Structure 1
Amino acid sequence: MANVWNVPNTLSAARIVMAVLCFAGLELGFVWAALALYVVATATDWLDGYWARKYGQVTQLGRILDPFADKLLVCGAFVYLAAAPGLGVAPWMAVVVLSRELLVTALRSFVEGSGGDFSAKWVGKWKMALQCAAIIIGLILMALPTPPVEWLRMAFLASLWGAVAITLYSGVVYVQAVVAFARGGGR
């Protein structure tokens, strides 16, 4: 049996702790510290996946911890962005992100419980990248003491709307994949 506390799983667990600390920082008004934690946590998402594949350290625990850490980081950050005055993140946008993440978790459980593989698709990776970009720019806007330069605000709005759109699209892609899986008798 592989060591479950290998490097990728340790990074995923650390990402969960960093997410909690990030949100505590936001709650206490330490936005720059929260942003730094968020950036480091996001980097560990890429690193743990790379390490797990390169060194053959993919584990069942990692298949649970990694997406949970991702969902905690993204969903929690969207809740904070939606609560921030003047950013332009409507509550329904956070609901879309939360709903998609919960749906994909349920679909993953169904497919993997039926013996199938529910690895991340490229659209899911792009979704995560665009969501993280929107979150990072949003946190920068929250941290700035004065009204931001217009290009930064426009970059935020573009990444935000792009993130919401690809979040919806990726949800459809995953639903279609599960429907095909179910129609194929779970193969």
Structure 2
Amino acid sequence: MTMRWVAAVLFIVAASTDKLDGWMARTYDQVTELGKLMDPIADKLLIGATLVVASAFGEVYWWVTILMLVREIGITVMRFFVIDTGGRVIAASRAGKYKTLAQCVGLGLLLFPVWSLSPSSAGTPMWINVYYVVTFTVIYLSLILCLYSGGLYLYRVWRPASSDAATKA
């Protein structure tokens, strides 16, 4: 149980520093193209590793983890492709930011060992069941946002040139 508390605290601290890092970069005018590229990759590594471990321990379905990882790896490869072909770094969209927030909240809730706060002899209290319903609702919402924001990124990169001209007019 001690390791579960450590994992939960480390995840929450790491996820929180991501928000702090972004705020500091904007506040001190230190936003860079490299930062716009590396920040989402750091998010993907944190969330991806947590999802894989949670799935390995049977706490998240593998299909959820696989869908999220395929989207994350695909978008990262696409970002590098766009840069390699002379394009600019694709900054995170609002939907992508909400996705990351929902993933962090959902996984933070999942990692938090709420079962340790209940006496074992009394059975599972109703509030723990409600807690897990909320937790998995947030995780599945993050999956929906993951797929939606991935579709938006693909659309922004691969839309026909004629739609670019129409939006600029």
- TM-score bucket (shorter structure): 0.7 to 0.9
CA–CA distance in structure 2, aligned partners of residues 81 and 46 of structure 1: 23
How much does 1:126 deviate?
A: 0.3
1:97-112 alignment runs, 5 A limit: 97-112=68-83
How much does 1:111 deviate?
A: 2.2
How much does 1:129 deviate?
A: 0.6
Do structure 1's residue 178 and structure 2's residue 157 form an aligned pair?
Answer: yes
CA–CA distance in structure 2, aligned partners of residues 99 and 154 of structure 1: 25
> Could you say which residue in structure 2 is the equivalent of 1:169?
148
CA–CA distance in structure 2, aligned partners of residues 125 and 93 of structure 1: 19
1:66 equivalent among 32, 39, 52: 39
Secondary structure of 2:31 counterpart: coil
Number of residue equivalences: 156
- TM-score, normalised via structure 2 length: 0.82
AA of the residue aligned to 1:73: L
Task: State the superposition RMSD in angstroms.
Answer: 2.5
How much does 1:178 deviate?
A: 0.8
> Could you say which residue in structure 2 is the equivalent of 1:116?
88
How much does 1:60 deviate?
A: 4.0
Q: Which runs of 4+ in 1 moved over 6 A?
A: none
CA–CA distance in structure 2, aligned partners of residues 48 and 112 of structure 1: 23
**Structure ranking higher on relative contact order (CA contacts 8 Å, 6+ apart):** 2
> Could you say which residue in structure 2 is the equivalent of 1:140?
112
CA–CA distance in structure 2, aligned partners of residues 50 and 94 of structure 1: 29
- TM-score, normalised via structure 1 length: 0.74
Identity level (%): 33
> Could you say which residue in structure 2 is the equivalent of 1:150?
129
> Could you say which residue in structure 2 is the equivalent of 1:127?
99
AA of the residue aligned to 1:158: T
Structure number, greater radius of gyration? 2
CA–CA distance in structure 2, aligned partners of residues 104 and 81 of structure 1: 22
- Contact 2:5 2:112 survives alignment (8 Å): yes
Do structure 1's residue 159 and structure 2's residue 159 form an aligned pair?
Answer: no
CA–CA distance in structure 1, aligned partners of residues 34 and 142 of structure 2: 28
AA of the residue aligned to 2:71: R
AA of the residue aligned to 1:139: L
Residues 7-48 of structure 1, C-alpha deviations (whole Å, 9 max, x = no match): xxxxxxxxxxxxxxxxxxxxx961111111111111111111
